[in-house]
Amino acid sequence: MMLVINTAFKTANLAVVTDKVYACDIDSNSKHSENVLPSIEKLVEKAGIDILDIDTVALVTGPGSFTGLRIGAAIARALGSVNKKLKFISLSSLSLMAYIIAKQKLVKGNFVCAINALSGLYFVGTYDENGINIEEEKMIDSACFEKITLPKFAFEGDIDGLQSVICDNGSLVDFAKSEERAKHFVSLEELLPRYLRLSQAEDNLIKKSKKV
């Protein structure tokens, strides 16, 4: 049984997978910090299982929202602390996007998935038409981003002018299942979030250290 958590962006996607899929969204007007855990508890109850029956947690680890990723990681760590046999899968936001693009056959040939990191920066990953990563994910500036000639995609509402991709629960669960079948498991220590940007406190700390 699997718990799938995507809190990387404004809308959170959650799913409990048994022989059926029990899923829900938490929209951008709701506070993830207050609603993610209660929503997971409701899905577990709806599935008729105990939270300790979950044997795998698939977590979208970013790049994504600082607050959202911290919430998802905290829940995964809490579950890991009470269930030492729990297995973990780290899902890249960019690879998730590529999976959806390949599944829906939105493009022929290689393409680029992008996430707006703000301040003129972008996280990008290059993939073939099957959604396989062919170049390491990286952050680039706007000048480099504009020079990319391959078709570019972004999640809906993230980057103006690019073809939009919608992350639905079905695709998220299918991607998590494909990673589980491939046995792409990581340790709890390796389940590290990748933030679009630092928190204000961390940013201020770095700026302060540079002045010393």
Domains, the chain, ranges and CATH? 2-92+167-211 (3.30.420.40), 94-165 (3.30.420)
pLDDT per residue as tens digits for the range 175-197? 999 999 999 999 999 999 999 86
* Single pTM value for the model: 0.90
pLDDT per residue as tens digits for the range 124-170? 999 999 999 999 999 999 999 999 999 999 999 999 999 999 999 99
d(C-alpha 180, C-alpha 100), whole Å: 17
Q: Is 157 left (phi over 0), alpha (psi -120 to 50) or beta?
A: left
Q: How many residues does the chain have?
A: 212
d(C-alpha 144, C-alpha 180), whole Å: 34
